[in-house]
Amino acid sequence: MSYGASGSGNGAAKGATAPPPGSGCPVRHDFDPFGPEFQAAPGMSMQAMRGEQPVFYSPLLDAYVVSRYADIRAVFTNLESFSPANATEPISPLCRAATAKLEEHEFRKVRTLGVEEEPAHMRLRKRLNEPFSPASVKAWEPRVREVMNGYIDGFVGRGHADLVEEMIIEAPAVVALEFLGVPEEDIEQTKDFAKGIMTFVFGRPSEQEQVETCDLMGQHQKYSTELVERLIENPAGDGFLPFAVRAYLDDPEDLDLNYLSGLAMNGLAAAHETTSNSAANLFLLLLGNRDSWEEICADPSLIPGAVEESLRLGMPGATWRRRCVVETEVGGVAIPAGATVLLALASGNCDEDVFPQPDRFDIHRDNARRQLAFGIGAHRCLGAGLAQLQMKVMAEELSRRLPHMRLVEDQELTYQGTASVGGPLHLLVEWDPARNPVEADRVVAAEAPGLDL
């Protein structure tokens, strides 16, 4: 990721690109992506805004907010007018102690695919795409299944679990690190490097949280640089990073040590919290809509559709950003050059013109694949296929081994409180281990302490 000290990420003074009086651009002071309504249902909380003022200026964020599906798509695909350069800049300014911590680690800003400009972006994307091809990702399925079942083994006989803490937050980190090509002996020390990144980039972290995250970022960059140096000496091996290092050794155009270490950092950040949040929302929606859960238990072929629909209604990143580089009109509103544009992806995913009855979780929805969770166009998330594979396999294995699992009643769901929302921080579930359908998983209630069904 590319981190800066300014929350706006565009170098302009806060409010410098606000619409002047009489411009006709709506200004909304009631839009609060950190508030409880947006946190609970980011897409549906903007229903009135989509109808009344689909593009407006938010003084709170110093950004122009775009809420309709068609307008979001137009911004994503207009590469001449909208730059991705500010996509991962912290939305809240860094405190002095945090910047001091980055300086202590001699932290370097890095170029990454997610914020790369054209034409370098597409040239690099084509060079680095092979490990993310459908066939390459499909080849990872047996290992992903092994990892998921390893975590299920840890709680299947107990009768209760916090799915997020005991599986969902951990398993994608392990898969991501292995996919990147991190040596097995390094995985334990590196899997927590990306924790807190969503809050750091999209939230209002405390000064202490900023310092802690910057410390992890410094450690992560140092490790990533050392790993890349080792791979340059011995580039053989499986995984995305060895592949990227071999591409660099074949032709260093657009690639260097700093870029390669940035790929290592961003690979974990993108594949860890975002996949975990997606999976947490998937199981919240499936278990909260019991008929849907029972349908996938009876017919696992419905799981890919359930994954797409959960990404529509419970996507991990409710917002994304672009910088307007030349004055451009979006939805009838003039966006000035230099302005930050906040794309309310969750709102687009609930646009009634595209998704009828958008608040309904429907695993049979025939156009759920049009969801915006991974973006659209040239900058669509490169790792989308790996994320969807992990979600599919999680759902397949949990529905196979624990079809009678249910949400603990009256639990209070908590979220990170970021403009990107994410998934629930905890998801408590319970079941009767004596009814586990796999014989090896079956445990009588008396052997499962703490179970009270």
42-78: per-residue pLDDT in tens?
A: 999 999 999 999 999 999 999 999 999 999 999 999 9
C-beta atoms surrounding 415 within 10 Å: 16
7: in domain = no
Lowest mean pLDDT of 127-141, 152-166, 350-364, 434-448, name the range. Answer: 434-448
- Has residue 385 got a pLDDT over 70? yes
Q: pLDDT tens for residues 204-219?
A: 999 999 999 999 999 9
Which tokens is 341 given?
């544009």
Percent share of the chain, pLDDT over 90: 68
226: in domain = yes
Provide the number of structural domains found in the chain. Answer: 1
| Integer CA distances (angstroms), 229 to 140, 232, 264, 394, in order | 26, 5, 12, 34
| Integer CA distances (angstroms), 278 to 122, 321, 374, 394, 410, in order | 27, 19, 11, 11, 22
What average pLDDT does the segment 274-291 reach? 95
Q: Is 249 left (phi over 0), alpha (psi -120 to 50) or beta?
A: alpha
59: in domain = no
291: in domain = yes
Q: Residue type at 8?
A: S
Q: What CATH number is associated with residue 275?
A: 1.10.630.10
Strands 320-324 and 82-83: antiparallel
What's the confidence (pLDDT) of residue 283? 98
Residue 172 neighbours by CB under 8 Å, 6+ apart? 271, 272, 275, 276, 279, 387, 390
Measured in whole angstroms, the distance separating CA 387 from the mean position of its chain's CA atoms is 9
Supply φ then ψ for residue 267, to 5 degrees. Answer: -60, -45
pLDDT band at 424; cut points 50, 70, 90: very high
Residue pair 283/398 in contact (Cβ under 8 Å)? The answer is yes
**pTM for this entry:** 0.91
117: in domain = yes
pLDDT band at 302; cut points 50, 70, 90: very high
| Structural domain range at position 221 | 96-314+366-447
49: in domain = no
Q: Is 347 left (phi over 0), alpha (psi -120 to 50) or beta?
A: alpha
154: in domain = yes
What average pLDDT does the segment 11-32 reach? 83
11: in domain = no
Supply φ then ψ for residue 171, to 5 degrees. Answer: -60, -45
Length of the chain in residues, anyone? 453
